[in-house]
Structure 1
């Protein structure tokens, strides 16, 4: 683990911010599709460009950019902290094991997934209010009439949520967010570790390799695999979360159970996967950049990945 918690947080924050800048336009399309404003991705893209221009794809960017910075700082910090705790536990429970260098001990994949799930639970409390504001900003313009002179901004959305629901309103959708992050982050880190581990075993057989630095290709593919695993496995939960957060809470279906019933009645099982294609497209470059940036900065800072 890095020598300083502060340095670990900085690395995660920087990597998360870069990933969010790459994925955000795709995320805007995804949320609009999940909220059933458009019937398909191409139509959503065309009308967003026509009605809102380039800024429409980045509307509401500030909260999720800050959120991504905080989220990834929390994810990587807690992930490594839990692994350290597991190493110490294993060492205490197995005194006969000779750890010449405890830092080099490899936590089993299941342990890494537990660490990932724990980090996801912690991050969910940061993500819920951020994503609620983001989702409402992303769909707000499309729900307005062309003649409307209302100019949405983050402060108006924040004020509106507080006026209608108080402080608790910012955590509407917390439970599905927690479920998504707990399971999704376990898969996210698990997929990364599994793929990167395969690469390490393959590279170790190449006797001519002299550099200890992790190859760029390995990091990009491992990161992209993590993103695909996270999004594909937990996508229905994300759809439920987005619809709960966009719902104004005045239709009686802002609960998780009511939202599931509404989505199923309107679109069937397919409704839970609306926007999945654009989500997979967006997550590949974004997560490749997150893990590449984090690991390469870590190598430069600490001399190891």
Structure 2
């Protein structure tokens, strides 16, 4: 009897729900990562020496709940970006299977790039709002944007700066998404496949956890320089009619020149501790929802999402 697959609409729903669930746990890490990447901009002294220093400083100056500034934007980002990227990836992944066997690593990487570009374009407005909302607390009171929620942020950006500003940084965001998804989705699928083959670990939470941690480490190292370029472009202001940066390469050149090459990996640990657990939780939630559907609706056991 041929295997049945989950309907495409549910693949998108499961993908977005998994990402949103993971974001509830890792939002403070995302905020610290953004603050670390914006620390030292324009040759100013670094605000934070380490990730722990950033955590302590934010809590002392702004209060514990400041760690969840921008949570509404973070959830909307997952509802748009992750819904699209995981939905498209799982849909294409099933299409590219041959006789029930998963596609090659190169095909997985290509599928990750395609799904990442699509997800990034859809999710850029929420990303812009998220970057600004998480960065607001580091500014002097008279310079803060003080968005009340992600809806308020999107409406004000549209009214005050124009529609296209909602897609500011879309190109580096899509470039980052290509790197992140090619690394994350392909390495997760490949790690999972190799672990099953070499160590005979069966489909389940342990398998998903190990594959996710491997995927998170690879993705962090590969994507951080692009992520820094994206973060600074989306947070930049226009001064006397001139933007701070002309594009992603301008950001990277200025960062290396003014802050040193290792600044491209500034905030590595909060980025990894954010991306690693987010990867783990997203894939575990996604796999559990898919496994539940396969077992209880389609009557098939031992199948995962990727």
| Counterpart position of 1:281 | 273
**Equivalent runs, 1:1-305 vs 2, <5 Å:** 2-36=5-39, 38-40=47-49, 41-87=51-97, 102=99, 104-145=100-141, 151-154=146-149, 155-204=151-200, 214-250=203-239, 251-256=242-247, 257-303=249-295, 304-305=303-304
- Could you list the per-position Cα deviations for residues 170-220 of structure 1 after superposition, in whole angstroms to 9, with x for gaps in the alignment? 11111111111112201111111121112211354x8xxxxxx61321111
Unpaired segments ≥5 residues, structure 2: 41-46, 296-302
**2:18 and 2:286 in contact (8 A); partners too:** yes
Superposed CA RMSD in Å reads 2.3
**2:147 and 2:153 in contact (8 A); partners too:** yes
Structure 2: distance between partners of 1:149 and 1:26: 21
Structure 2: distance between partners of 1:269 and 1:67: 30
- Could you list the per-position Cα deviations for residues 257-305 of structure 1 after superposition, in whole angstroms to 9, with x for gaps in the alignment? 4323332332121222111111112222221111111112111111232
- Partner SS, residue 254 of structure 1: coil
Q: How far off is 1:164 after superposition? A: 4.4
Structure 2: distance between partners of 1:50 and 1:297: 39
Structure 2: distance between partners of 1:173 and 1:286: 23
The structure with more radius of gyration: 1
User: Which runs of 4 or more aligned residues in structure 1 lie more than 4 Å from their structure 2 counterparts after TM superposition?
Assistant: 147-151
Taking a change above 3 Å as real, the CA distance of residues 60 and 114 of structure 1, as seen in their structure-2 partners, is same
Taking a change above 3 Å as real, the CA distance of residues 149 and 203 of structure 1, as seen in their structure-2 partners, is closer
TM-score, normalised with respect to structure 2: 0.85
Structure 1: distance between partners of 2:61 and 2:219: 32
Structure 2: distance between partners of 1:42 and 1:29: 9
- Partner SS, residue 67 of structure 1: helix
Taking a change above 3 Å as real, the CA distance of residues 162 and 262 of structure 1, as seen in their structure-2 partners, is farther
Structure 2: distance between partners of 1:295 and 1:39: 37
Unpaired segments ≥5 residues, structure 1: 88-98, 207-212
Taking a change above 3 Å as real, the CA distance of residues 173 and 151 of structure 1, as seen in their structure-2 partners, is closer
Q: How far off is 1:106 after superposition? A: 2.2
Taking a change above 3 Å as real, the CA distance of residues 39 and 4 of structure 1, as seen in their structure-2 partners, is same
